[in-house]
Amino acid sequence: MKREEQRLIFELSRPGRSGGSLPENDVPEINVNELFSSDYIRKDEPELPEVSELQLIRHYTALSNRNFGVDSGFYPLGSCTMKYNPKVNEGIARMAGFAHIHPYQPESQVQGALQMMYELQDSLAAITGMNTVTLQSAAGAQGEWTGLMIIRAFHEANGDHQRTKVIVPDSAHGTNPASASVAGFDPVTVKTDERGLVDLEHLREVTGPDTAALMLTNPNTLGLFEEDIVEMAEIIHDAGGKLYYDGANSNAIMGKTSPGDMGFDVVHLNLHKTFTGPHGGGGPGSGPVGVKEELVPYLPKPLLVKDGEDYTWNYDRPEAIGRIKPFYGNFGINVRAYAYIRTMGPTGLHQVSENAVLNANYLMKRLEPYYDIPYQQYCKHEFVLSAKRQKKLGVRALDIAKRLLDYGYHPPTIYFPLNVEECMMIEPTETESKETLDEFADAMIAIAKEAEEEPDQVLEAPHETVISRLDETQAARKPILRYEKAKEEQ
Ligand SMILES: *Cc1c(COP(=O)(O)O)cnc(C)c1O
């Protein structure tokens, strides 16, 4: 049977068929009418599908086959890429000593888990060049907010209440200005110049006594290294502001340089991106925050410390911004990141950065004759191209993305960053083979040719997927989340 013909579980249902068997009831039956008001009691039986175990398993397996993940194919979604998910990490995260502990257990019983967290914090501090790291925040955006609250607490402790502005480049990830707002600041945009880097003159203009911080991604979201970073740090520090580093994707810098060396004061990392945590379906994530010495008093509490040979939670932190998440962060993701860092070691992480950058530059060079590359220089772990040339033929970045589905690829990020026309942002990651990169390049080149010779192939894509184009606005605003019988059956 072809995939699209596969019937849904409600259509397979036959009265009385069942996939499970329950033992005879051996406890007294409860009279629900005595326990609940009649408002809460069902009048009719729920309409559940009645199917066999095998039909049920096939239903869910068929649904999972319609999904696309990093385990099924190449997934070059720039910036938010699902990167490497080593299977050895899964085994380690499932070890009883990690998987079966409870956050309310006394510290004396979970010293091993605390040691793991402490060593992870230390490794992340070394990688980022920060003094102290907290693992509490559960995502990149929460890390941004935490870091900005720390900066805010610092300025307030100094009586600097007029520092209300956070400077964010126009190429920044959308969470940056959003986090600045939620933390109570006014985001101010600084422009990108013709090099694709922060416009230094404009940065000088927007920096002043009201500057709380500059939030920066480096390499930036165009995949370019902000080579003026030392000068930028001086401009911000001279004005009394702090530098915030969005380290969601650190694949290009690990073991090469660090935000600490570049002059940053606060950093967040996404352990569910660079450090291999699987984040399919939106979570869970982990967005640790590291700070330089001066800001340590403001880190959230409790802070994990080492007291002699013992690991313990320090709650006695009067200047801390408070607790930002129940318990101590998404522990399982932290275990995976720890396992990854320990298996790679410093030389391995250094190699990761080299491979990530090599792969991105290789792919960029292969595509250069067929697509416009807006910034002509070496990229870091990702690059952007523009479908401007194809747009003249009536084919847009969206169409190319849809056509890639037919070739079996997850499309890259499109229309981001906002400052590149018909933008496609590609991050191949360090783990892909040359063969995979070549096959993807061949597909992109074939699509460029189709755009010239038979544009309808691209404009009407995808042709091979279970469903073709969605009305994305309707899908977001009015999603159909339950099975609905086809019209003629009703
Ligand atoms: C993914 C990403 C974020 C946000 O991280 P979440 O964990 O999704 O909140 C922030 N900045 C950059 C550059 C990112 O790629």
Among 81, 173, 266, residue to substitute to test ligand 1 (most atoms within 8 Å of Cβ) = 173
Among 77, 80, 142, 148, residue to substitute to test ligand 1 (most atoms within 8 Å of Cβ) = 80
- Strand 303-307 relative to strand 310-314, pairing: antiparallel
Residue 489 pLDDT class (50, 70, 90 cuts)? low
The residue behind tokens 């990229």 is 379
Q: How far is CA 282 from the centre of its chain?
A: 8
DSSP state letters, 326-384: STTS-HHHHHHHHHHHHHHHHHHHHHHHHHHHHHHHHHHHHHTTTSB-SS-S--SS-EE
- Summarised one tens digit per residue, pLDDT across range 419-443 is 899 999 999 999 999 999 999 999 9
DSSP state letters, 419-463: TSTTEEEE---TT--HHHHHHHHHHHHHHHHHHHH-HHHHHT---
Residue 334 C-alpha to ligand 1 middle, in angstroms? 17
Query: Does residue 172 have its Cβ closer than 6 Å to ligand 1?
Result: no
Query: Does residue 427 have its Cβ closer than 6 Å to ligand 1?
Result: no
At residue 280, does pLDDT exceed 80? no
Residue 220 C-alpha to ligand 1 middle, in angstroms? 13
CA dihedral 389, 395, 400, 402 (to 10 degrees): 170
Which of the pair, 486 or 252, is modelled with greater confidence? 252
Number of the ligand 1 atom closest to the C-alpha atom of 221: 13
Residue 487, pLDDT score: 54
Query: Does residue 334 have its Cβ closer than 6 Å to ligand 1?
Result: no
Query: How high does pLDDT run on average in the chain?
Result: 93
How many C-beta atoms surround the C-beta of residue 98 within 10 A? 20
Q: What secondary structure letter does DSSP report for 124?
A: H
Q: Which CATH architecture has domain 87-344?
A: 3-Layer(aba) Sandwich (3.40)
Query: Does residue 270 have its Cβ closer than 6 Å to ligand 1?
Result: yes
Nearest Cα residue to atom 8 of ligand 1: 140
Please name which of 302, 172, 304 lies closest in space to residue 248, comparing C-alpha atoms: 172
At residue 172, does pLDDT exceed 70? yes
Strand order in the sheet with 266-269: 132-134, 289-291, 266-269, 242-247, 211-216, 165-169, 186-190
Number of the ligand 1 atom closest to the C-alpha atom of 249: 15
260: CB partners within 8 A, 6+ apart: 128, 129, 130, 267, 292
Query: Does residue 175 have its Cβ closer than 6 Å to ligand 1?
Result: yes
Residue 144 C-alpha to ligand 1 middle, in angstroms? 9
Number of the ligand 1 atom closest to the C-alpha atom of 144: 10
Give the type of residue at 318: P
Measured CA to CA, the distance from residue 176 to residue 215 in angstroms comes to: 7
Measured CA to CA, the distance from residue 120 to residue 118 in angstroms comes to: 5
Query: Does residue 217 have its Cβ closer than 6 Å to ligand 1?
Result: yes
- Angle, CA of 228, 233 and 235, to the nearest 5°: 95
- Strand 289-291 relative to strand 132-134, pairing: antiparallel
| H or E, element range at 246 | strand 242-247
What's 351-477's CATH class?
A: alpha beta
Query: Does residue 358 have its Cβ closer than 6 Å to ligand 1?
Result: no
Give this prediction's pTM: 0.90
- Summarised one tens digit per residue, pLDDT across range 152-169 is 999 999 999 999 999 999
Whether the CB-CB separation of 216 and 232 falls below 8 Å is answered with yes
**How large is the angle between the packed helices 434-453 and 331-367, nearest 10 degrees?**
50
Please name which of 344, 184, 385, 171 lies closest in space to residue 255, comparing C-alpha atoms: 344
Residue 338 C-alpha to ligand 1 middle, in angstroms? 20
Please name which of 385, 458, 484 lies closest in space to residue 76, comparing C-alpha atoms: 385
Nearest Cα residue to atom 4 of ligand 1: 140
At residue 2, does pLDDT exceed 60? no
At residue 215, does pLDDT exceed 70? yes
Measured CA to CA, the distance from residue 458 to residue 461 in angstroms comes to: 5
Give percent of the chain above pLDDT 70: 97
Residue 248 C-alpha to ligand 1 middle, in angstroms? 5
Residue 19, pLDDT score: 86
Please name which of 1, 288, 354 lies closest in space to residue 124, comparing C-alpha atoms: 288
At residue 486, does pLDDT exceed 90? no
Whether the CB-CB separation of 260 and 280 falls below 8 Å is answered with no
**How large is the angle between the packed helices 434-453 and 397-406, nearest 10 degrees?**
120
Residue 330 C-alpha to ligand 1 middle, in angstroms? 16
Measured CA to CA, the distance from residue 208 to residue 165 in angstroms comes to: 9
Please name which of 472, 361, 351, 376 lies closest in space to residue 426, comparing C-alpha atoms: 361
Residue 1, pLDDT score: 42
488: CB partners within 8 A, 6+ apart: none
Beta bridge partners of 313: 304
| CB hemisphere CA count around 245 (13 angstroms) | 31
Whether the CB-CB separation of 300 and 320 falls below 8 Å is answered with yes
Residue 192 C-alpha to ligand 1 middle, in angstroms? 20
Quickly count helices (H) and strands (E) in the chain. 17, 12
Residue 189 C-alpha to ligand 1 middle, in angstroms? 18
Residue 261 C-alpha to ligand 1 middle, in angstroms? 22
Greatest Cα pair distance in the chain: 79
Residue 396 C-alpha to ligand 1 middle, in angstroms? 26
- Summarised one tens digit per residue, pLDDT across range 97-136 is 999 999 999 999 999 999 999 999 999 999 999 999 999 9
Q: What is the mean pLDDT of residues 318-328?
A: 95
Measured CA to CA, the distance from residue 407 to residue 448 in angstroms comes to: 13
Q: What is the mean pLDDT of residues 35-57?
A: 90
Q: For the chain, give every domain's residue range.
A: 3-66, 87-344, 351-477
Residue 280 C-alpha to ligand 1 middle, in angstroms? 14
At residue 137, does pLDDT exceed 90? yes
- Summarised one tens digit per residue, pLDDT across range 342-395 is 999 999 999 999 999 999 999 999 999 999 999 989 999 999 999 999 999 999
Query: Does residue 413 have its Cβ closer than 6 Å to ligand 1?
Result: no
Residue 12, pLDDT score: 87
